[in-house]
Amino acid sequence: MTLPFARENEFLVVYLPPISRALVFRIVGVYNNGYQKIEYGPIPISAGTTLPTYEGGATTVPEDGVMPARSYTRDAVRFPMEGAYDESDMWRFPEDWNERLFHILQVVKPGFLRIEAQIPPGAIQPKFQRDKVLGGVEKDFGFTRGKFEIVQLPGVSVGYRYGNDTNLDVYTYVRFYYAEYMVEIVKDAEMVYNILMKRVPSRWYTYPVTYLHPRIIESLKKAYGFEGFPLLYRREEAVKRYEELIQLVRR
Amino acid sequence: MGELITFYGKVSGLGDYSLTSPAIRGNVGYIRIPKGVKLKIWAKRIAGPATTVAIMFTRDVTASSVTWETIGTEHLASAGEITLEKRRPIVVVGYTGKEAIKFSRVGPSGATDESYVEFDIEFVWDDE
């Protein structure tokens, strides 16, 4: 499997569509070289949990980690890990770890399970025609099957919803591939312009959100001092604006 | 993208095979095909006494009276086992999410003994 991760000294752009801004990072190092896999285990849903069904009813999880037939998770699932910064959400880390960034590829078995990310948990992101129609695992759009790629930003919590539209009660399994990047915000305005104009190669990751929750903006400001570089195509205007923003960057 | 699951079936006499797998909890009588997903039946194994197995398909498993049509049959001519693989798969597609397949023992008539099957079924999506 080809992993989507950046390597040392590459640039990573995290583009935030709702505000048309991008965070431009240089990968200073990859902390977990050679060990990019976490065999997590079943999706953390407990026996006895009530889940809604695609038929409009409800069903009960019969055994830990089993996704019942024709059911989906109403609430976003996070992944507990003992000893992690946030033991209820292994991927969340604080804003003052702004030199860290996690790039995660979640692989779920069986692969036909639907996956949707809520950023932060509770915020529905898939939408059609502005906000006219909401998507998600219980709809015909707004989900992937089997895999989900995310860049985990400091202070931001991501929850996942899962759907099983077969008639099979399935045992689930989650494997994470991840890169724990050591990063810095690029502080050369000319370089930022060239990266955003795609004159310099970079990994471009578009954050899967239609709406940027105020909590995310707050976390970005706390972590980096600003919420990203706007996409500007006039060079002089862009470089001037980027120089101003670079002054705000938290060291 | 795909996920290959082996289903194991058993039936006493004639009728639908009860299917299970290490990947699923419990047994099912049919497999419903998610909307936008294809099922590819790659390999078939039949074991036990002489048997005719029908592969059956319906467009609407939620109907009050489900109509099943036979889309394939396999025969085990005498007691023993037969493995049928490395052939072009049988492909069934979920257009509405209500389609389903099942496997039925339809012969020989009057059979009362136990018959066993295995099917390697791949769930395939995003294969445009």
Q: How many domains does chain B have?
A: 1
Residue of B nearest to A164 (CA): B34
State pLDDT tens for residues B81-93.
999 987 789 999 9
Residue B101's domain is classified under what CATH number? 2.60.120.40
Spell out where chain B has E strands: 2-12, 15-16, 18-20, 31-32, 38-48, 51-58, 69-76, 80-84, 90-93, 100-107, 114-124
Residue A242 lies in a domain: yes
Residue A1 lies in a domain: no
Residue A232 lies in a domain: yes
Among A168, A171, A173, pick the best mutation site for testing chain B contact (most B Cβ within 10 A). A168
* Cross-chain CB nearest to B5 (options A63, A69, A110): A110
Residue A176 lies in a domain: yes
* Structural domain for B110, as ranges: 2-124
Give residue A1's pLDDT: 83
**What token pair was written down for B29?**
């009588």
- Give CA–CA dist B52/B54, Å, rounded: 7
* Structural domain for A71, as ranges: 11-248
Q: How many domains does chain A have?
A: 1
Give residue A250's pLDDT: 82
CA distance A251 to chain B (A): 43
Single-letter amino acid code for the residue at A166: T
Residue A2 lies in a domain: no
Going residue by residue through chain B, which has 128 residues, state the pLDDT in tens, using 9 for 90 and above.
999 999 999 999 999 999 999 999 999 999 999 999 999 999 999 999 999 999 999 999 999 999 999 999 999 999 999 999 877 899 999 999 999 999 999 999 999 999 999 999 999 998 87
User: Cβ of A57 under 8 Å from any chain B Cβ?
Assistant: no
Q: In Å, what is the CA distance from A235 to each residue of B78, B116, B122? A: 80, 71, 52
Q: In Å, what is the CA distance from B92 to each residue of A25, B33, B69, B83? A: 46, 8, 12, 21
For A10-19, letters b (16+ CB in 10 Å) and e give: ebbbbbbeeb
* Cross-chain CB nearest to A167 (options B3, B28, B125): B28
Residue A84 lies in a domain: yes
Asked whether A52 and A61 are in contact (CB, 8 A), the reply is no
Taking a contact as any Cβ pair under 8 Å apart, which residues of chain A between 144 and 163 contact chain B?
145-147
Going residue by residue through chain A, which has 251 residues, state the pLDDT in tens, using 9 for 90 and above.
899 999 999 999 999 999 999 999 999 999 999 999 999 999 999 999 999 999 999 999 999 999 999 999 999 999 999 999 999 999 999 999 999 999 999 999 999 999 999 999 999 999 999 999 999 999 999 999 999 999 999 999 999 999 999 999 999 999 999 999 999 999 999 999 999 999 999 999 999 999 999 999 999 999 999 999 999 999 999 999 999 999 999 87
DSSP state of A216: H
Give residue A47's pLDDT: 98
Whether B3 and A63 lie within 8 Å, measured CB to CB:
no
Residue A180 lies in a domain: yes
Residue A59 lies in a domain: yes
User: Cβ of A173 under 8 Å from any chain B Cβ?
Assistant: no
Mutual angle of helices A235-248 and A189-196, in 10-degree steps: 120
Give residue B86's pLDDT: 73
Q: CA geometry: angle at A227 spanning A221 and A231, to 5°?
A: 165
Give residue B87's pLDDT: 76
Among B7, B8, B24, B38, pick the best mutation site for testing chain A contact (most A Cβ within 10 A). B24
CA distance A142 to chain B (A): 14
User: Cβ of B1 under 8 Å from any chain A Cβ?
Assistant: yes
- Give CA–CA dist B68/A28, Å, rounded: 60
